[in-house]
Every structure is written in structure tokens, then in C-alpha cells.
Amino acid sequence: KNEVEQSPQNLTAQEGEFITINCSYSVGISALHWLQQHPGGGIVSLFMLSSGKKKHGRLIATINIQEKHSSLHITASHPRDSAVYICAASGGGGSNYKLTFGKGTLLTVNP
């Protein structure tokens, strides 16, 4: 069983919709990362958070340490947001920076 679980696996939305991607983890962590991977393969780090909430533009990430759960929200979604979004936990196994990855959520935003 993967220690980091994401849902949904696939998500299709219409432009303008509010999107939520969920991530649950079963290990103790020092931080939770949200990454974006475009079809070409390159990965961009969106957020790293260990508590509370962070916002960058139309993206919002939240984490609930007690429930071991994080969410990534996209407001006013746009076709250019189409990508794979990956949740990753760091701090498992005593390493502060070794990441354990979820399987990713493929988001498709249609115009």
C-alpha cells in the first residue's frame, strides 16, 4: 500500500471551475509537497507546507496535520492548468528531504 494516496486519479473540468485534489498520507512527515508535471515531463514545485495554508495566485494548498490530509485547490481553472499534480511527503524514515510520492492526479481542463 502506497504511503501517500491521492484522489481522484483523473479529473476533467470545464474552464472556470473550482478544482480540489486530495492527498492523504500515513507516515509522519516534516513537510508535504505539491508538484506539477506537464506533458513534456518537467516538474515544478508548487508548494511545500508543514501546517496551515499557502496561496500562490489561483492555487491554494492546505494541510491538516492531525488528519494527515492535504488538499490542492485551483480557482477559476484554465486549460493551461492541465497537468499531472503530484503530492509528496518528506520526512518519512527519519530523512527530512527524502520524498515519498503519490501516484498523481491527471487534470484536464476543457475550454
Partner 1 sequence: GAVVSQHPSRVICKSGTSVKIECRSLDFQATTMFWYRQFPKQSLMLMATSNEGSKATYEQGVEKDKFLINHASLTLSTLTVTSAHPEDSSFYICSAWDSLQETQYFGPGTRLLVL
Q: What residues make contact with partner 1 under the rule CB under 8 A?
A: 33, 35, 40-45, 48, 86, 90, 96-99, 101-104
Parallel/antiparallel/unpaired status of strands 19-25 and 4-7: antiparallel
Smaller CB separation from partner 1, 102 or 109: 102
Min separation Cβ 96 and partner 1, Å: 8
Up-side HSE of residue 101: CA atoms within 13 Å toward CB?
Answer: 11
Nearer of residues 41 and 111 to partner 1, judged by Cβ = 41
Smaller CB separation from partner 1, 27 or 44: 44
Q: Rounded to the nearest whole angstrom, what is the least distance from the CB of residue 41 to partner 1 in the complex?
A: 4
60 vs 71: CA distance, rounded Å: 8
Instruction: Name the minimum Å distance from CB 10 to partner 1.
Output: 11
Query: Residues, the chain, total?
Result: 111
Q: What is the 3-state secondary structure (H, E, C) of 15-74?
A: CCCCEEEEEEECCCCCEEEEEEECCCCCEEEEEEECCEEEEECCEEEEEECCCCEEEEEE
The nearest distance, CB 64 to partner 1, in angstroms, is 21
Q: Which is nearer to partner 1, 104 or 109 (CB)?
A: 104
